[in-house]
Amino acid sequence: MTRPETQLRNVTVGPDQHASTGDPGRRLRARLSATFDRERPFAALMVVPGIVVLALTTTLPLLYLVGTSLFRYDLTAPAGNGFIGFDNYVRLASDERFWDSLRLSAVFTASTVILQVSIGIGLAVLVERMSRGRALVRMAALLPILLAPVVVGLIWRSLMLTPDFGIVNYLSTVLGLGSRNWLGDPSLALGSVVVMHTWQWTPFAYLIFSASLATVPREILEAAEVDGANAWQRFWTIVVPLLRPAIVVVVIFRTVVALSAFDAVYAATGGGPGTATELVDIYIFRVSFQQLSLGYGSALAVAMLVITLAVTLVFLKMRRAAA
Partner 1 sequence: MKVQRGVWIVTVIAVVLFLTVWVFPIVWTLVTSVKLPKDVFTYPPSLIFEPTSANYEQVTAGRRSLVGDLWTSVVIAGSTTLLAMLVGLPLAYAFARLRLRWRNVLGVYTLFTYLIPRIGLVLPHFVILRWLNLTDTHLGLTLVYLSFTLPLAIWLMVSYCEDLPAELEEAARIDRATRLQAFWRIVLPQLRGGLAATTIFVFITAWNEFLFALALGGQNVRPVTVAMYNFISVEQTLWGPLTAAAVIAMLPVVVLGLLAQKQIVAGLTAGSVK
285 near partner 1 (CB under 8 A): yes
13 near partner 1 (CB under 8 A): yes
314 near partner 1 (CB under 8 A): no
Q: Quick one: 322 exposed, middle or buried, by C-beta within 10 A (0-12, 13-18, 19+)?
A: exposed
What are the beta bridge partners of residue 72? 82
State how far the Cα of 220 lies from the Cα of 66, in Å rounded to an integer. Answer: 52
Q: Which stretch binds partner 1 (CB under 8 A): 41-49, 81-89, 90-98, 186-194?
A: 41-49
Binding test (CB under 8 A) with partner 1, winner from 62, 77, 93, 110: 62
320 near partner 1 (CB under 8 A): no
Binding test (CB under 8 A) with partner 1, winner from 108, 203, 265, 278: 203
Residue number with CB closer to partner 1 (259 or 276): 259
Kindly report the number of other CB atoms within 10 A of residue 247's CB atom: 20
Contact predicate 213/125, CB 8 Å: yes
281 near partner 1 (CB under 8 A): yes
Instruction: For the chain, list the strands marked E by DSSP.
Output: 71-72, 82-83
Binding test (CB under 8 A) with partner 1, winner from 25, 30, 64, 82: 64
State how far the Cα of 276 lies from the Cα of 189, in Å rounded to an integer. Answer: 7
284 near partner 1 (CB under 8 A): yes
192 near partner 1 (CB under 8 A): no
Of the candidates 282, 310, 265, 278, the residue with the CA atom closest to the CA atom of residue 150 = 265
Q: Which stretch binds partner 1 (CB under 8 A): 3-11, 81-89, 91-99, 102-110?
A: 3-11
- Output the smallest distance, CB 194 to partner 1, in A: 15
Q: Quick one: 13 exposed, middle or buried, by C-beta within 10 A (0-12, 13-18, 19+)?
A: middle
State how far the Cα of 41 lies from the Cα of 31, in Å rounded to an integer. Answer: 17
Task: Kindly identify the residues of this chain, within the stretch 105-164, that bind partner 1 according to CB under 8 A.
Answer: 119, 122-123, 126-127, 129-130, 133, 136-152, 154-160, 162, 164
Q: Which stretch binds partner 1 (CB under 8 A): 92-100, 102-110, 180-188, 308-316?
A: 308-316
Residues 6+ apart with CB under 8 A from 68: 294, 295, 298
What distance lies between CA 309 and its chain's CA centroid? 13
72 near partner 1 (CB under 8 A): no
Binding test (CB under 8 A) with partner 1, winner from 29, 31, 103, 317: 31
Task: Kindly identify the residues of this chain, within the stretch 224-243, that bind partner 1 according to CB under 8 A.
Answer: 225, 231
Binding residue count for partner 1, defined by CB under 8 A: 111
